Amino acid sequence: MDSLLSSARPPRDPSRHAAPQVFDYLRERIIALELPPGTLISRAELQELFGFSSTPVRDALMRLQEEGLVEIFPQHATIVSPIDLKLARQAQFLRRSLEQEAVRTITLSPDRAAVVARLETVIEVQATLLARGDLPGFETADREFHRVFFETADIAGLHAMVRRYSGHIDRIRRLHLPMPGKAAQVIADHRAIVAGIASGDVAAAQEALRAHLSKSLAFTADLRARWPDYFRD
């Protein structure tokens, strides 16, 4: 496994505290599977990479441990955790429950046309990124599509909570995304959700969303067969 220091030095932001910068950097790399399960994380390398002291590095790793993304063995090692299927199922339940209610609120709103326009714009961005083969950009746009639900339903604060619980299911999605037809299916699912919202049909919008959010775990057995060391029950 390549050293953390094989990456370009991440920019330091003097307007932000040190620990969140280390946390965001590591979390993004863990979710993207650039640091797959089992990867050893060196505190000394992180200190050299960022030029920070040991305290913010320690604090960032403790936050990642709270999310279940790393396992810290005191005086020994810190490693990236396996994908925990129990935590992934809990995250799916939480996200599906909140987003279905958000979609209901949006679909019944007199301002839903403006939301539909925003969502359609994101879908077009996704289609462009897919045509370019830019899966990391596609995934970022996918997160934006779902963030719009929370923002326009006036529950933006809950989006941060969902993100905190979603690390394990997000890694499953990242494993699944490169599979043939998966990204195109995401776009088709998004269009079905938007069509339900645009028509004012709450049941159709919610069912399209439910079907969409249920697919990540449906393929877990196949993914686990390919990467058995990445998972635990």
- What pLDDT score does 75 carry? 78
Cβ–Cβ < 8 Å for 45, 1: no
Where along the chain do the CATH 1.20.120.530 domains lie?
A: 84-232
What is the DSSP code (8-state) at residue 40?
Answer: E
- What pLDDT score does 175 carry? 95
Cβ–Cβ < 8 Å for 189, 229: no
- What pLDDT score does 10 carry? 77
- The candidate with the shortest Cα–Cα distance to 43, out of 67, 8, 70, is 70
Where along the chain do the CATH 1.10.10.10 domains lie?
A: 4-81
Cβ–Cβ < 8 Å for 32, 136: yes
Helix 156-165, helix 135-152: angle, nearest 10: 140
Between the two ends of the chain, the Cα-to-Cα distance in Å is 25
Residue 177, helix vs strand vs coil? coil
Q: Which helix (H) or strand (E) holds 32?
A: none
What is the DSSP code (8-state) at residue 8?
Answer: P
- What pLDDT score does 8 carry? 62
The pair of three-digit structure tokens given for residue 6, joined into one six-digit string: 């094989």
User: CATH: 1.10.10.10, 2.40.30.160, 3.30.70.3270, 3.10.20.30. Which one for 4-81?
Assistant: 1.10.10.10
The pair of three-digit structure tokens given for residue 164, joined into one six-digit string: 């905190």
CATH 1.10.940.10 corresponds to the domain 84-232: no
- What pLDDT score does 1 carry? 42
- CA torsion 172-29-154-110 (nearest 10°) is -60
Block mean pLDDT (10 aa), the chain, length 233: 59 83 95 95 91 93 97 90 97 97 98 97 98 96 97 96 96 95 97 98 98 92 95 92
Q: Which helix (H) or strand (E) holds 72?
A: strand 70-73
